[in-house]
Amino acid sequence: MRLFTAIDIGALDGLVAAEGELEQTGARLKMVEPEIIHCTLKFLGEVEEHLIPAITEAMQRAVANVGPFTTTVRGMGVFPSPDYIKVIWVGLEGGPVSVIAQNLEEDLQGCGFTKEKRPFTPHATLARVKGAQGKDRLREVVQRHRDTVFGEVSVDSICLKKSELRPQGPVYTTLHTIPL
């Protein structure tokens, strides 16, 4: 099964409004449904079911010294670059999000998962761009929101999620929740 670890963000009013602005650009976008917006801590890929206990143990160790916290959803950006936009994201500031991700990264190597090549950047994907149409207007919206505060999220757990890719969009199922 296809798995990842995450912090749920959800449908903040500011993110719903931002998604509306993005949709009005006329660009070909695949929007993330507001209720499933999340910050991926570690994408695991295809995983054998027998590894799930080791993954959840690594998750517990990753947050062993972390209590509940608040993070601010702030700023909009793109991957990989403004000249070639494939993903539109919002950033997360404050709280130990990067510490949790780093703890997971290190611990999960012991379960056979490879280390990420790029450094972790706390973010949540809002949309995937499916073509060049409307990219100038997209860049304008992203630029306008590069410092916008979209809201705050109270984080009291991390989750192990299963992802099923379907034509109408991904379906995420939470398999385990690890409280902070």
Q: Per-10-residue mean pLDDT for the chain, 180 residues long?
A: 96 95 94 95 96 97 97 97 94 97 95 91 95 90 97 98 88 97
Look up 38 and say whether it is catalytic.
Answer: yes
Q: Given this model, what pLDDT does residue 168 score?
A: 79
Q: Given this model, what pLDDT does residue 170 score?
A: 86
Determine the 3-state secondary structure of 12 from DSSP: coil
Whether the CB-CB separation of 126 and 18 falls below 8 Å is answered with yes
Catalytic residue among 38, 50, 145, 176: 38
Ordered structural domains, the chain, with CATH: 2-179 (3.90.1140.10)
Burial 140-154 (b: 16+ CB within 10 A, else e): ebbeebeeeebbbbe
Place of tokens 């379960």: 111
Look up 176 and say whether it is catalytic.
Answer: no
Residue 70's alpha-carbon distances to 17, 20, 96, 165, in angstroms, are: 21, 25, 9, 30
Element housing 115 (H / E) = none
pLDDT tens by residue, 82-109? 989 999 999 999 999 999 999 999 999 9
pTM over 0.85: yes
Q: Given this model, what pLDDT does residue 166 score?
A: 85
Catalytic residue among 50, 123, 145, 176: 123
